[in-house]
Structure 1
Amino acid sequence: MEFQFLGTGAGMPSKARNVSGLALRTHGAPHWSLVDCGEGTQHQILRSAWSLHTLRAVFITHMHGDHCYGLPGLLASAGMQNRSAPLFVVGPAPLRAFLQGVMATSELGLPFPVEFVEVGCLHGADPLPDLRVHAIALSHRVPCWAYAFTERSVERRIDTERLRAAGVAPGTAWGRLQHGEDVALDDGRVLHADDFLLAPRKARKIIVGGDNDRPQLLVEEARTAEVLIHEATYTEDVLHKVGPGPQHSSARMTAAAGQAAGVPNLVLTHFSPRYQDSGPLTIGAVEAEARMAYGGHLFLARDFDRYLLDRDGRLSLQS
């Protein structure tokens, strides 16, 4: 599985960070998904290898502008590129009215169907053929969700030692067994695939959170995840100065939840523009605070960072 950040800033864009957007897919899949679509996301896509023609679904976490204002423009651009395939749009109920209002007032007609799925009805929909998607309610000023993406199917490897012990030499029979086919040998034996396939590995799961001032809401879900992507808008001292009104998390809060869940990989994002690479408030302070509460593999996202989650659950930064 792989994902790339198209925006990692909170509230408004800065010179270094656009607002929220994340591209995600199973490695090598012909389609991809977008989680959140803040203003300017389509410009970020133009600077990446992603294509609006192969975008299959958009998942919006909540109705704040830095997470959804870019969606009408993205849909319009996809139409101008003569996209014809349906596009799933998953999000809160007001998202449908928002899109319909923009389309009506701007006379936007699309040459492709938009299949809207209200987040509360996601369990009855299958927007992605390769990933099961589950929504978890969060705590924010408006209704907000996290999305958990889990592999639908997991490949099984053949037990080469058992095949050799049975006197079956490498060849076409091995390949057919690998694909789950039973095989009749020339000596009359029938090899049943289930007898020669090792137990499947764990299906990988990635959780992408929206804005949330109670990261502990994701602890139980994250116990079975390989990756938790969650906001760390402030450090603790700034959060106390700002107060509870914005309903965001500090780096310490998010890190503590990741530690409680035992999630092996924690990726922080959605940073306040206050934090820069140098100056009185640095992104290094966010990292230092998180490392004090979390002992796993910690990453601080930057725009266009691309990550790969391998079959063994190891997350690595690719670029």
Structure 2
Amino acid sequence: MHRRSVLAGLTASLAAPAVRAQESYPTRAVTLVVPFPPGGSTDVIARVIADAMRLQLKVPVVVENRGGAGGTLGTGVVARANPDGYTIGMGTASTLAINPAAYKTLPYDVLGDLAPIGAIAEVPNVMEINPAMPVTDMASFIVYAKAGPGRITYGSSGLGSVSHLMGEQFKRATGTDLVHVPYRGIGPALGDAVAGQILVMFDNLPTSLPLVQAGKLRALAVSSKKRLAALPDVPTFTELGIDDLSWTAFFGLIAPIRTPSAIITTLNDALNNALADPVVREKLAEQQATVTPGTVEAFGALMSREIARMKRACEVAKISIE
């Protein structure tokens, strides 16, 4: 009995520091890895959230941009980080759902290496055309496209990107034949769409909205559930009977898979409290983002659903990237 008591005491003493560490978390700065360069939607949303969570956690939340390889580089950094809650990451539809579906190999396994913390927001996508095209709405666009199969080009930010998948999904849903032109990033693609080098784009609304509002591109449809205040005259894909294009880009927080559940809960609470702040909501609304607070489990379920959906989309479109 004495030996058992000693062993029990030793086990308790070894476990105590870990328990105390979780209870006192956080005691120093938390790094929020953004897997894309500064300036894009993911980076802007991350900085709003980092500033708000700083107030909740009472420690600095430092944004670290680790862009490259379509977001796989930075996401891999999070997957390999020490699971102590001091390195977390921004997860997006691209890094958590599309990349696993499109790439044959990745430096991380979404469901095996990453733990969900919580959802942040979702952003709608928009289909837009060069305004010189002789069409005014979706119906006339489809008629024009079917009259000349292969004559209309659409651009994307790269193979396997949201814009690429949406273009292929649109072709299948409408029976049209558009020619895909991949670019290295959304900026060059939008530039060529404005110049008329390509005729169609599918893109996240925040980056395209200024061009649409300036008349440099014409929006034909948005992927949101209802019409947007920023584009009240533009119908949704659902209104137009194209249900397969009701895609939104989601954003959330992730951590290394073995991060203790108590720390994950602390981070989820801080995130949801931040999202309840009217100032945060207003800043995200400026990015055309709708906040989607929720539980750890809900975000994990979203990740699983989106991976399955994007795998189906990639299989149908025959998209597979080495």
Higher relative contact order at CA 8 Å, sep ≥6: structure 1 or structure 2?
A: 2
Q: Per residue, is there more helix in 1 or in 2?
A: 2
Normalization by structure 2: what TM-score?
0.26
